[in-house]
Amino acid sequence: MSIEISDNEVHVWRVFDRSYDQKDFKYRYYQLLNSAEHTRYQSFKFDEDRHQFLVTRVMLKKVLSQYVSQIKPSQWCFDYNKYGKPKISSNLLEQAVHFNISHTRDCILLAISIRCSVGVDVESLYIDDKVLDIAPDVFNTEELDYLKKSNYKSYKARFMQLWTLKESFIKAKGKGLSMPLSDFSVIPNNDSCGNATLHTYNEDSTDIYSLRSFYLRNDLVAAIAVRTNTSKKFFLEHMLADELVND
């Protein structure tokens, strides 16, 4: 591996896809997609969505090759579990490299972990106030109490903080929204690291997950969940992918 990453580390790569010219980027990198990815690219109705998909794939493949230098970006292939979570094709690597992707507006996040399942979510705070009305449907009593402690200005930020934490957890579990949101709660600890406390209900698994919330900009909130299976804390390192993707 070119970039070293330890068992208790998670690297989060970030790129802003709107910083690249759509036509130029497609001209330079469209060939990195395989036939299935070409089909998916063409399935998007809007140019902005096609562009974000292309930037996401280029970012993913180029970043992975930074960790596994013997595999070229064009050689990466991916499988999906029955819930749609992507993973590296099993015939490519002996050592497990886990990743997860999230995007919103012009921001794409990619989380990389060794041996441990990981989930990441990023959301914009520029959302319609009507979205906030679904709080009783997606949050349980503990989480609603956390929301009630906020004032008018901070309510939306706390709402999206909880939402990204819950999303990152179900993505780390690999079950998507097939996992009822009422089966668990996440409450931010309000410490300097952004850690959050997870409580699961109707869950027999002994897996241990660590969750953390953080801001990328004043208008972008994100969260990450890692299956650690240990009480040891994980270290989160932020990586900028702009130059790598545009190389």
Instruction: Determine whether 78 is exposed, middle or buried from the number of CB atoms within 10 Å of its CB (0-12, 13-18, 19+).
Output: middle
* Tokens 């690297």, residue located: 11
113-126: per-residue pLDDT in tens? 987 899 999 999 98
9-55: per-residue pLDDT in tens? 899 999 999 889 999 999 999 999 999 999 999 999 999 999 999 99
Sorted by where each begins, the domain ranges of the chain are 9-245
> Residue ranges of the chain with pLDDT lower than 70?
1, 94, 202-206, 229-234
For residue 50, what pLDDT is reported? 95
b/e for 145-179, b at 16 or more Cβ within 10 A? ebbeeeeeeebbebbbbbbbbbbbbbbbbbbeeeb
Instruction: Pick one of 3.90.470.20, 3.40.50.300, 3.40.50.720, 3.20.20.140 as the CATH number of 9-245.
Output: 3.90.470.20
